[in-house]
Amino acid sequence: MDMTTDTALAPLEFAVTRNPAAKTAAERAALLADPVFGTVFTDHMVQLTWTAGEGWHDAVVRPYGALSLEPAAAVLHYGQEIFEGIKAYRHADGSIHTFRPDQNGHRLQRSAHRLALPQLPVEHFIQSLRELIEVDGAWVPGGDDRSLYLRPFMFASEPFLGVRPANQVEFLVIASPVGAYFKGGAKPVSIWLSEDYARAGKGGTGAAKTGGNYAASLLPQAEAYEQGCDQVVFLDADGNVEELGGMNIVFVRKDGTLVTPDSDSILEGITRLSLLQLAKDRGHAVEQRPVTLAEWREGVASGDIVEAFACGTAAVVAPIGTLKGHDFTDAQPLGELALSLREELTDIQYGRREDKHGWLVRLDA
Residue numbers at the binding site for ligand PLP (CB under 6 A):
85, 209, 213, 243, 245-248, 267, 269-272, 312-313
Residue 277 C-beta: closest distance to ligand PLP, Å? 13
Are 122 and 183 contacting, i.e. CB atoms less than 8 angstroms apart?
A: no
**Which of 12, 198 has the CB closer to ligand PLP?**
198
Residue 85 C-beta: closest distance to ligand PLP, Å? 5
Q: Which residues pair with 318 in a beta bridge?
A: 310
**Which of 242, 307 has the CB closer to ligand PLP?**
242
**Which of 35, 312 has the CB closer to ligand PLP?**
312
Q: Phi first, then psi: what are they for 299, rounded to 5°?
A: -65, -40
Q: Which amino acid is at 1?
A: M
**Which of 60, 270 has the CB closer to ligand PLP?**
270
Give the number of other Cβ atoms within 10 Å of residue 253's Cβ.
17
Residue 272 C-beta: closest distance to ligand PLP, Å? 6
d(CA 306, CA 75): 44
Residue 55 C-beta: closest distance to ligand PLP, Å? 27
Nearest residue to 127 via CA among 206, 61, 51, 226: 61
**Which of 247, 360 has the CB closer to ligand PLP?**
247
Give the number of other Cβ atoms within 10 Å of residue 135's Cβ.
22
**Which of 213, 332 has the CB closer to ligand PLP?**
213
**Which of 61, 247 has the CB closer to ligand PLP?**
247
**Which of 150, 363 has the CB closer to ligand PLP?**
150
**Which of 209, 324 has the CB closer to ligand PLP?**
209
Residue 268 C-beta: closest distance to ligand PLP, Å? 7
Residue 67 C-beta: closest distance to ligand PLP, Å? 22
Residue 249 C-beta: closest distance to ligand PLP, Å? 9
Q: Which residue is nearest to ligand PLP (CB)?
A: 269
Residue 64 C-beta: closest distance to ligand PLP, Å? 22
Residue 138 C-beta: closest distance to ligand PLP, Å? 25
Q: How far is CA 131 from CA 206, 239, 331, in A?
A: 31, 45, 47
